[in-house]
């Protein structure tokens, strides 16, 4: 339950921040908060084709609070998502785990271009294992809170042709990979030198955000981040792409499809080399927008 309490605390902190911002003239702020829970269940009895009973859930919160006045802008975002899947053979295993906060300050240079400074933080809430079977066998975890954690600071030119799209081009980006756990640090997880807790890289990055309503009842949210380091394997591009499609059934019920694609040559697969990581999730649940 600790992870759930942490997620609720993050949500409450976000709401408190947004409430405090109400003291600023409303016309200067654009705010949107979407929170919900998805559930799915499979029950089998004497099923000739085989299979096993399963239950899955995830709870999420997506918040934005963007401020604009004269030539100054300030965009803030929070994504918190955690979920688990239960099967009769493997018991509970987490299926999604993400905490991402970002803030971007900009100053208008022209109608669509800003000078911008972006700070981004990405980690997860709970321990992760290669599989439920490996956890049951007593194998060590492969990730946990702040292992890894990523802090990225970018300065560059931000192209914003409308409220739905932004593209930050940064020739000066500092990326800090954190592996706070002593065990994961000792094995050199996530690219750190064995025994070290930090990996600092200087490079260039591109961050593209797109948020729009495709139809009255279908919305799309996408965030693509590309990064290549000057001081470490320059030309190898780290990729992180999140995409969510929401399908509105009625005021409180939605179906959503989410994908997360990751490629990082500092993260080795079981076969020894870096691989493209892909997670997909389709859910139906309750949603609350405020």
Q: How large is the average pLDDT for residues 127-136? A: 84
185 — phi, psi (to 5°)?
A: -65, -40
d(CA 59, CA 35): 8
d(CA 96, CA 85): 9
Instruction: Give the model confidence (pLDDT) of 241-258 as tens digits.
Output: 999 999 999 988 999 899
Contact between 11 and 61 under an 8 Å Cβ cutoff? The reply is yes
Residues 6+ apart with CB under 8 A from 141: 127, 128, 129, 135, 183, 184
Does position 129 have pLDDT exceeding 70, yes or no?
yes
46 φψ region: left (φ > 0), alpha (ψ -120 to 50), beta (else): left
Instruction: Give the model confidence (pLDDT) of 144-196 as tens digits.
Output: 999 999 999 999 999 999 989 999 999 999 999 999 999 999 999 999 999 99
């Amino acid at each position: 339950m600790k992870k759930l309490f942490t997620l609720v605390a993050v949500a409450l902190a976000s709401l408190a921040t947004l409430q405090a911002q109400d003291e600023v003239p409303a016309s200067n702020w654009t705010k949107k908060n979407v929170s919900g829970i998805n559930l799915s269940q499979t029950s089998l009895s004497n099923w000739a084709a085989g299979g096993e009973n399963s239950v899955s859930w995830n709870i999420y919160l997506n918040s934005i609070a963007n401020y604009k006045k004269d030539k100054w802008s300030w965009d803030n975002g929070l994504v918190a998502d955690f979920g688990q899947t239960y099967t009769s053979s493997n018991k509970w295993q987490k299926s999604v785990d993400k905490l991402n906060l970002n803030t971007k300050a900009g100053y208008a240079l022209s109608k669509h271009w800003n000078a911008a400074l972006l700070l981004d933080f990405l980690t997860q809430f709970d321990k992760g294992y290669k599989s439920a079977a490996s956890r049951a066998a007593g194998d060590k975890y492969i990730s946990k809170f702040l292992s890894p954690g990523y802090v990225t600071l970018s300065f560059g030119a931000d192209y914003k042709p409308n409220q739905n799209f932004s593209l930050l081009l940064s020739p000066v980006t500092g990326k800090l990979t954190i592996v706070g756990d002593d065990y994961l640090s000792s094995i050199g997880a996530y690219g750190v030198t064995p025994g070290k807790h930090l990996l600092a890289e200087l490079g260039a990055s591109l961050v593209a955000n797109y948020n729009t309503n495709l139809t009255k009842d279908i919305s799309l949210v996408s965030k693509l981040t590309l990064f290549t380091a000057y001081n470490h394997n320059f030309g190898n591009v780290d990729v992180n792409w999140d995409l969510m499609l929401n399908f509105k059934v009625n005021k409180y019920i939605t179906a959503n499809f989410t994908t997360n694609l990751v490629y990082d040559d500092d993260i080795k697969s079981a076969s020894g080399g870096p691989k493209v990581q892909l997670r997909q999730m389709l859910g139906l649940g309750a949603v609350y927008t405020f």
